[in-house]
Amino acid sequence: MSATWGTLFQVTVFGESHAAGLGCVISGMPPGFPLDLDLVREAMQRRAPNRTSASTKRQEKDHFEILCGYLHGRTTGTPLAAIIRNRDQHSGDYKELETLLRPGHADYTGLVKYRGAGDIRGGGHFSGRITAPLVFAGAAARQVLAARGITVGAHVQEIAGIQDAAFNTFSAAELLLPEQGEFPVLEAERGREMLEAVEKARLELDSVGGMVEVAAAGVPAGLGEPFFDSLESCFAHMMFSVPGVKAVSFGDGLEMIRWRGSEANDSPRLEDGRIVFASNHSGGMNGGISNGMPIIFHVAFRPTASIARPQDTVDYVSGKEAVLRLRGRHDACIVPRACEVVKNAAAVVLLDLLMQADSHGQ
Amino acid sequence: MSATWGTLFQVTVFGESHAAGLGCVISGMPPGFPLDLDLVREAMQRRAPNRTSASTKRQEKDHFEILCGYLHGRTTGTPLAAIIRNRDQHSGDYKELETLLRPGHADYTGLVKYRGAGDIRGGGHFSGRITAPLVFAGAAARQVLAARGITVGAHVQEIAGIQDAAFNTFSAAELLLPEQGEFPVLEAERGREMLEAVEKARLELDSVGGMVEVAAAGVPAGLGEPFFDSLESCFAHMMFSVPGVKAVSFGDGLEMIRWRGSEANDSPRLEDGRIVFASNHSGGMNGGISNGMPIIFHVAFRPTASIARPQDTVDYVSGKEAVLRLRGRHDACIVPRACEVVKNAAAVVLLDLLMQADSHGQ
Amino acid sequence: MSATWGTLFQVTVFGESHAAGLGCVISGMPPGFPLDLDLVREAMQRRAPNRTSASTKRQEKDHFEILCGYLHGRTTGTPLAAIIRNRDQHSGDYKELETLLRPGHADYTGLVKYRGAGDIRGGGHFSGRITAPLVFAGAAARQVLAARGITVGAHVQEIAGIQDAAFNTFSAAELLLPEQGEFPVLEAERGREMLEAVEKARLELDSVGGMVEVAAAGVPAGLGEPFFDSLESCFAHMMFSVPGVKAVSFGDGLEMIRWRGSEANDSPRLEDGRIVFASNHSGGMNGGISNGMPIIFHVAFRPTASIARPQDTVDYVSGKEAVLRLRGRHDACIVPRACEVVKNAAAVVLLDLLMQADSHGQ
Amino acid sequence: MSATWGTLFQVTVFGESHAAGLGCVISGMPPGFPLDLDLVREAMQRRAPNRTSASTKRQEKDHFEILCGYLHGRTTGTPLAAIIRNRDQHSGDYKELETLLRPGHADYTGLVKYRGAGDIRGGGHFSGRITAPLVFAGAAARQVLAARGITVGAHVQEIAGIQDAAFNTFSAAELLLPEQGEFPVLEAERGREMLEAVEKARLELDSVGGMVEVAAAGVPAGLGEPFFDSLESCFAHMMFSVPGVKAVSFGDGLEMIRWRGSEANDSPRLEDGRIVFASNHSGGMNGGISNGMPIIFHVAFRPTASIARPQDTVDYVSGKEAVLRLRGRHDACIVPRACEVVKNAAAVVLLDLLMQADSHGQ
């Protein structure tokens, strides 16, 4: 029953796609931190629609306004609230929707949960747009992490069966490379192919899904808990809040189900007298706790639910079966934008765990 | 930093593999519920080792004692605490371990997090044995769910590449079928093949991983939240607490990343005037909220970390590289026992969400 | 580390006295509730300054804007966010303060906690102004409670030694009577005397404290928990968040320390076949759980810290002792406005507990 | 709905007066801490009955057994669970009670909340006996605090109108003085008078209440939060969990309601270049945050509800009014034993807040 995430670094999100606005409240932000709002804006911009043809034509600028918690370029340490106003809404596009349940969307479940009172326009509170304030919070968290030597990166690993290279060196340069180009991949050519596949699906009035790889380097060993707040638990909890996510896998998680233990185990070894691991199949964690190796996980997205082709459904007002023809502007693939969301959302998780690990009690 | 799960139905677990005991405290148990302890014992027994050759020879009976919260065959509604004493420990087997880091285990991360003070014997608090009290709590939750018409089931979907059939009808009979036989599968023959594969790996001083399918039928629509406590978030958070879990996927989650939206969308339709869905690729949830269809998810387990073959590692006391030769008794595959764990753990999540949905505020 | 209150009915507050704005996010609001914004405005107005000479001259209208969670006069059930913009700030008045620690204020503790980065103007996040969004949330909660037959009321019990009558009948009419007049008391004449005492203190460049009595009628038996969330614990936790509160007492709590048990015990008796109590010294609760009698507690406020007379203090920049002469506009007594705050804050607590009690698990 | 306290230092309590046992689970205990169990036993002993004639004749030794989280004299850092078995129960004494509601007890509220399923014998989960595991947890927390230079002390401030001296120097010696004698007071003679008053009440088949003063010295400035987890909120939340507590007041809280602001404000001044306060009316906190001065608060206890004289009540089975004649062993005043409880409970709160303050995020 919670719009609030976190133990020490807490983020509360609110908003609906077609209400006056949306936003977030960040509680537990370290005081006096020189938060660079331009970096936040850039992250918001990477999530915003219309960067490429893969995305909806809706022109939201996602301009945010900070209401409190920020003074003279620094965080005050008290709650930081930011709001984003909705401007470019074509609520008319959603008229018909108000009675036809959109397949793959939360229309029916929202109807049940909120007893018909929810704002269904544009997905309301279920809209991917609610990830904008989450990106705001994550872009702030990423800066605090960076100041502590931790880099969080992500790229589109796969769309429509086309695969990008995997992160390999986990240098800051590599982790941030996907932010440099038009499309968040390591190999630009793969990005172009992905875009073509997305465009093809769109022209066929359909959509595609994909996979994002997230990684964090510089994370100290010791973050996370055995029960119940394992590192995996905390990351997965957050990732599965993001609309469209249907699977999360850590390290070589999915492949490992068919491996032998002798292949899956990462052997400790010494490097300059320090304990490291000879491989990183586990994705940087053992027993729910970070082991000092890069953290790696994959987030799987289902194909966008909003597609232009006619779909069978039910009119919940008339109580009759009907055919839905969606209008409005929709991404034929949300993965490129979602890549920015999960990267920043991962930073929110990581900062909270880092702050918890700072506590030692003696 | 939390050994406690839940909002209204709360479970706290404690214990170490070689300490005096382990157990759980359940807070928020409905009062006056006629909890059948024999059913709890059966679940504990299914998780306990040595049912089949797939499992360690260690003979723990996992006898529990209820300290409070239970009177005259019924729950009192106040905290219910159960403890399990450790008996059959061969701590001697672990002598060498106390200085050699076991690959794939939490020895190193536990060492860092607990600054060398943790009880490393048998994995200590990281031992799979800590899932015994979780099974206790889940076996209680399952009974409360059953009284409300909800059945939770699980079976081994795959071990060493050998696949069982998938749940199909989601009838209570089907969901509970895996509990009837020697091995928790739908097709007994597949179970025998899996056991052979496990035995083969064991003889080769190695181990194998696998996948469990979990399903729940009878779950009403409306459980879960858009942010941050989606149904997926809550289930995944719990699943990733279970040792060895590396990936969690909902519905056809993993496959869907290569599907088109038109294939992935589940169309609403009418059945006796009631809204249902023509397919269930989403695994019984949309927008993080249950949609009344069966809940389905898959949990991937890495191969058991404890293997008998020699492994390179580091002696953290001498600070030198070394070769580890594990003694002691270890499962060559934990998936059959883990199947019982994730099923019951899923029930804990579901009951908590159900109780939250009971609240309506008006 | 938490700006968020509650388990099922959650309220997050944010803002600073001289930042762009402040506000709250309410999560868990029952969906479809016909929230009357005029009633909310009236509550905000009762808390706002300048109703009487007891209060600061600062002319804030506390106009709120709802960003989301409210559509066509009803709550949507998703997070409801409201913001209030700061307008009438004379930040110049606070120039000197930025280096002189105000006695009785949180300047020093804020300085330490936020390492000098906090917004100290007007008290920043410590300002009583942050109670405005709390009143918003409480005014919403009160309406939901009213729809379930629960009335929450409060009046100034004492200011500067002058005492109002105590609540006696606990009828809705009596509980709401203090909202009718200029001053929140049961006996208007006492209110006038209190105002005179406040004015006298103000002319003497000083301030006074006082006590508020809060009561709730119609609360069903069974709310609250033995450990750790007793009804008293939850109310007190919230009350002590309100600036200036230094003591909280339930029923005849303070008097009872000198009573005998035979005087303090409330005897159960029958009334129309229903169990009630012959007296209500306990204030409507036993063992941390509501007993069906009216809930009664008292909240003690210290005298306003901001006084016009010169005070010894320290300049924390120069590191020298100094004399502070406060300018700006300050209430010589916050109790009349605080009365509205604690009443509404109590409603937030009560609704959360009521919603928890709705959950039954079977 | 929570049997668990805390954010980083978490304590879960369980048990009933006449069940097999009770206990606690401590999560977040600093690893490797040399916990002295003798000191814990001494605290348990001070809380245990029968030290003086003021207390019940019931002979519980409160022997605890540690199940996990403790190895070779040190904490492991993983959950520490301790159980206490119930031995000396005279359940027969409670036969009649099972149908007669005891005035001043939680019999009726427990009956409603737990729908008749609660264990009513000896108060069940509402029994003051549940404070034994809380003392265990607090005695552990106190040792961790002591290692960081923080001393927590308490004494009986008043019983039956007889007053002890107040804490004055706040030296460790003074704060621990009440633990040296037979009765937890600063002035032994006052203790004797209090005992006589208690004995007098007991002979008159009645009981008395009183007040405890709690103080903590060495607490660094900066603990606590403005909203909602003020230092006062956290302490009060915990204190009001303790059976019998009806009021909590910080510093000169209660007196201050009749003071002027000029009397109540504590002026900052310099001492060896460090900022301190010339007085400590606020009890060591401003704006919900510790200010480096000794923390002081008072906890008011109602007279013991169990009295031997006949009382009017209701038989909830027959549904008729009746007269209750309590048998069994009952304290005529719980304040001396409660003094140990609130002192240790305060340490639990303080350690949790201290650990939270250790987190800095950068």
Q: Which residues of A touch C32 (CB under 8 A)?
A: 114-117
The contact set of B with C (CB < 8 A) is 7-9, 28-30, 33, 78, 144, 147-148, 226, 351, 354-356, 358-362
Q: Which residue has the higher pLDDT, C290 or C123?
A: C290
Band of residue C59 on the pLDDT scale cut at 50, 70, 90: low
In the DSSP assignment, the letter for residue C211 is E
Band of residue B278 on the pLDDT scale cut at 50, 70, 90: very high
> CA-to-CA distance for A109 and A96, rounded, in angstroms?
18
Closest CB to B362: pick one of C33, C226, C359: C33
User: Are residues C61 and C171 in contact, defined by beta-carbon separation less than 8 angstroms?
Assistant: no
Cis peptide before B228 (omega within 30 of 0): yes
User: Are residues C67 and C133 in contact, defined by beta-carbon separation less than 8 angstroms?
Assistant: no
Candidate from A127-141, B46-60, B95-109, C315-329 with smallest mean pLDDT: B46-60
pLDDT given for residue D2 in this prediction: 82
Band of residue A55 on the pLDDT scale cut at 50, 70, 90: low
In the DSSP assignment, the letter for residue B319 is T
Q: Do D104 and C320 touch (CB under 8 A)?
A: no
Give the CA dihedral D125, D127, D132, D137, nearest 10 degrees. Answer: 50
Question: How much is the average pLDDT of B330-355?
Answer: 96
**C contact test, residue of D257, D275, D281, D301 with most C CBs within 10 A:** D257
User: Are residues A57 and A49 in contact, defined by beta-carbon separation less than 8 angstroms?
Assistant: yes
Tens digits of residue pLDDT in D70-120: 999 999 999 999 999 998 665 555 554 578 999 999 999 999 999 888 887
Q: Which residues of B touch C8 (CB under 8 A)?
A: 7, 356, 359, 361
Q: Do A19 and C118 touch (CB under 8 A)?
A: no
Question: How much is the average pLDDT of B77-86?
Answer: 96
Band of residue B90 on the pLDDT scale cut at 50, 70, 90: low
Q: Which residues of B touch C347 (CB under 8 A)?
A: none
ipTM: 0.95
Question: How much is the average pLDDT of B107-117?
Answer: 92
Q: Nearest-CA neighbor of C154 among C137, C174, C139?
A: C174
> CA-to-CA distance for B252 and B294, rounded, in angstroms?
13
Q: Do B68 and D19 touch (CB under 8 A)?
A: yes
> CA-to-CA distance for A179 and A177, rounded, in angstroms?
5
Closest CB to B359: pick one of C148, C356, C362: C356
pLDDT given for residue D59 in this prediction: 54
Band of residue B323 on the pLDDT scale cut at 50, 70, 90: very high
Q: Nearest-CA neighbor of A263 among A244, A282, A249, A247?
A: A282
Geometric angle at alpha carbon A77, from A76 and A78, rounded to 5°: 90
Q: Which amino acid is at C324?
A: L
Closest CB to B236: pick one of A225, A237, A356: A237
Angle separating helix axes A231-239 and A335-358, nearest 10 degrees:
140
**Continuous H helices in A125-241:** 131-147, 172-176, 188-203, 231-239
pLDDT given for residue D75 in this prediction: 97
Residue B56 has pLDDT above 80, yes or no: no
Name the minimum distance, in Å, from the CA of A270 to any CA of chain C.
Answer: 39
Token couple for C102: 């105000």
Band of residue B54 on the pLDDT scale cut at 50, 70, 90: low
Q: Is B272 exposed, middle or buried (0-12, 13-18, 19+ CB in 10 A)?
A: exposed
Cis peptide before D136 (omega within 30 of 0): no
Q: Which chains touch C (3 or more CB pairs under 8 A)?
A: A, B, D
Q: Which residue has the higher pLDDT, C115 or A97?
A: C115
Average per-residue pLDDT in chain D? 92
Tens digits of residue pLDDT in A118-155: 887 778 888 889 999 999 999 999 999 999 999 999 99
Q: Do A209 and B312 touch (CB under 8 A)?
A: no
Tens digits of residue pLDDT in C126-154: 888 999 999 999 999 999 999 999 999 99
Q: Nearest-CA neighbor of B350 among B239, B276, B242, B268?
A: B239
Band of residue D133 on the pLDDT scale cut at 50, 70, 90: very high
Tens digits of residue pLDDT in D151-197: 999 999 999 999 999 999 999 999 999 999 989 999 999 999 999 99
Q: Do C1 and A12 touch (CB under 8 A)?
A: no
Percent of chain A past pLDDT 70, that is, above it, reads: 92
**D contact test, residue of A1, A359, A360 with most D CBs within 10 A:** A359
Tens digits of residue pLDDT in D223-267: 999 989 999 999 999 999 999 999 999 999 999 999 999 999 999
Q: Do D113 and B77 touch (CB under 8 A)?
A: yes
Residue A94 has pLDDT above 60, yes or no: no
Q: Which chains touch A (3 or more CB pairs under 8 A)?
A: B, C, D
Token couple for C259: 């009573």
HSE, side-chain direction, 13 A CA sphere, residue A44 = 24
Candidate from A127-131, C36-40, C165-169, D244-248 with smallest mean pLDDT: A127-131
User: Are residues D278 and C316 in contact, defined by beta-carbon separation less than 8 angstroms?
Assistant: no
Name the minimum distance, in Å, from the CA of D87 to any CA of chain C.
Answer: 23
Q: Do B209 and A304 touch (CB under 8 A)?
A: no
Tens digits of residue pLDDT in A63-88: 999 999 999 999 999 999 999 999 86
Q: Which residues of B touch A321 (CB under 8 A)?
A: 269-270
Residue C355 has pLDDT above 80, yes or no: yes
Question: How much is the average pLDDT of B260-281?
Answer: 96
Q: Collapsing DSSP states into helix, strand and coil, what is residue D133? A: helix
pLDDT given for residue D330 in this prediction: 80
pLDDT given for residue D155 in this prediction: 98
Highest-pLDDT range among A88-102, C48-62, D170-184: D170-184
Q: Which amino acid is at A323?
A: V
Question: How much is the average pLDDT of C208-232?
Answer: 96
Taking chain D, what is the end-to-end CA distance rounded to the nearest angstrom? 35
Tokens 């909002």 found at:
B7
**A contact test, residue of D229, D356, D359 with most A CBs within 10 A:** D359
Q: Which residues of A touch C113 (CB under 8 A)?
A: 31, 77
Task: Count H helices and E strands in chain B, helices first.
Answer: 9, 18
Token couple for D260: 């002027």
pLDDT given for residue B362 in this prediction: 52
Q: Which residues of D touch C247 (CB under 8 A)?
A: 247-250, 253-254, 257
> CA-to-CA distance for B36 and C73, rounded, in angstroms?
49
Q: Do C257 and D301 touch (CB under 8 A)?
A: yes
pLDDT given for residue A98 in this prediction: 72
Backbone angles phi, psi at A331, to 5 degrees: -70, 135
Closest CB to A78: pick one of D29, D226, D362: D226
User: Are residues C283 and C266 in contact, defined by beta-carbon separation less than 8 angstroms?
Assistant: no
Residue D328 has pLDDT above 80, yes or no: no
Tens digits of residue pLDDT in D275-315: 999 999 999 999 999 999 999 999 999 999 999 999 999 99
Q: Do B260 and A208 touch (CB under 8 A)?
A: yes
Cα distances (Å, whole numbers) of residue D208 to B225, C255, D336: 50, 12, 11
Q: Which chains touch B (3 or more CB pairs under 8 A)?
A: A, C, D
Sign of CA dihedral B72, B75, B77, B79: positive
Residue B275 has pLDDT above 70, yes or no: yes
pLDDT given for residue D94 in this prediction: 53
Q: Do B71 and D21 touch (CB under 8 A)?
A: no
Average per-residue pLDDT in chain A? 92
HSE, side-chain direction, 13 A CA sphere, residue C74 = 14
Closest CB to D258: pick one of C103, C161, C253: C161
pTM for the whole structure: 0.96
Here the contacts of C167-175 (C-beta below 8 Å, separation 24 or greater) are: C167/C213, C167/C215, C167/C294, C167/C296, C170/C215, C170/C217, C170/C294, C171/C217, C172/C217, C175/C151, C175/C215, C175/C216, C175/C217
Q: Nearest-CA neighbor of C148 among C217, C98, C72, C58?
A: C217
pLDDT given for residue C5 in this prediction: 96
Name the minimum distance, in Å, from the CA of C203 to any CA of chain A.
Answer: 35
Closest CB to A356: pick one of D8, D29, D362: D8
Ramachandran class of B69: left when φ > 0, alpha when ψ lies in -120 to 50, beta otherwise: left
Interface contacts B/C by beta carbons within 8 Å = 55
